[in-house]
Amino acid sequence: MRIGIIGAGFIGRTVAQLVIAAGHEAMLSNSRGPQTLSSVLSGIRGSQVGTVEEAAQFGEVVLVAIPLEHYRSLPARLLEGKTVLDANNYYPARDGHIDALDHFETTTSRLLAEQLPHSSVVKVFNAILAQDLLQDGRAKAAPDRRALPVAADDRVAKALVIQLLDEIGFDAVDAGGLDESWRFERAKPAYCIALDKTGLKAALAAAERQVEMPEGSWRH
Ligand SMILES: NC(=O)c1ccc[n+]([C@@H]2O[C@H](COP(=O)([O-])OP(=O)(O)OC[C@H]3O[C@@H](n4cnc5c(N)ncnc54)[C@H](OP(=O)(O)O)[C@@H]3O)[C@@H](O)[C@H]2O)c1
């Protein structure tokens, strides 16, 4: 599979490494252009770099891993018909306040899906630290295999992402549609905590819509 990646920071680079190791192709991009990504070419064997538009066109699947505040800059037309993986989280101190999120009226993924109305958005990779993503992958059926939550409205896109997670060493728990993805957003019990499938299901069920765990009880 060809995977375009918009955002070449911690999470974008980590996913590139993992999917290339699993036999896929990856192209990383950022807002400043491929001339600023020579460290990707030297550091991630087999990775390609391009502009945001080139990465969007390159990918059959495209990962968005940028600070949430920039989600409106994405090239919606080039992402039409594609599966778009959404790793983004809302940090008001970084992203500025977004009223609908502050008032628990929507989810980060729903905002992205509204921006990309003709793409199939899948929430994934947001609830694990990049460094853990790199080191926590395990062979199928390993007793300590970690599970990651996935949410999407499109069942086919969701199944494809669950398969991709399996290939890179993770189980998945289906957390429902995008409107349920708040269950593993920032400061919920499933956020950036290593859990197996059973533990993750329990953490997702324990989440409360308007309750945020105190800073310091989760890692970021
Ligand atoms: N770090 C983690 O462990 C982790 C884990 C899960 C989820 N996340 C979430 O994933 C997202 C990215 O996090 P990160 O830690 O990878 O961030 P990061 O290290 O700061 O990297 C962000 C990347 O996005 C690029 N970028 C910024 N604005 C852009 C735009 N408008 N178009 C294209 N590229 C743009 C940046 O490059 P330029 O500035 O040069 O464009 C940079 O390559 C955030 O929403 C974060 O909350 C992070």
List, for residues 142-190, the tens digit of each pLDDT value: 999 999 999 999 999 999 999 999 999 999 999 999 999 999 999 999 9
Q: Ligand 1 in contact with 73 (CB < 6 A)? A: yes
Q: Ligand 1 in contact with 109 (CB < 6 A)? A: no
Q: Ligand 1 in contact with 5 (CB < 6 A)? A: no
Q: Ligand 1 in contact with 4 (CB < 6 A)? A: no
Q: Ligand 1 in contact with 88 (CB < 6 A)? A: yes
Average pLDDT, the chain: 97
Which residue, by CA, sits nearest to atom 27 of ligand 1?
66
Whole-prediction pTM: 0.98
Choose one of 14, 66, 185 to mutate for the ligand 1 pocket test, by most ligand atoms within 8 angstroms of C-beta. 66
pLDDT value for 219: 72
Query: What is the per-residue pLDDT across 108-124, written as a single tens digit (0 to 9) for each?
Result: 999 999 999 999 999 99
Q: Ligand 1 in contact with 164 (CB < 6 A)? A: no
The atom of ligand 1 lying closest to the CA of 68 is 45
Query: What is the per-residue pLDDT across 199-218, written as a single tens digit (0 to 9) for each?
Result: 999 999 999 999 999 988 87
pLDDT value for 218: 73
- DSSP-derived letter for residue 74 is S
CB 151 within 8 A of CB 122: yes
Q: Ligand 1 in contact with 14 (CB < 6 A)? A: no
Beta strands 25-29 and 120-123 are unpaired
Which residue, by CA, sits nearest to atom 47 of ligand 1?
89
Distances (CA, A) of 2 to 6, 66, 70, 164: 13, 19, 24, 12
Report d(CA 140, CA 151) in Å as an integer. 21
Please give the distance, rounded to the nearest whole angstrom, from the Cα atom of residue 36 to the centre of ligand 1: 14
Report d(CA 164, CA 174) in Å as an integer. 14
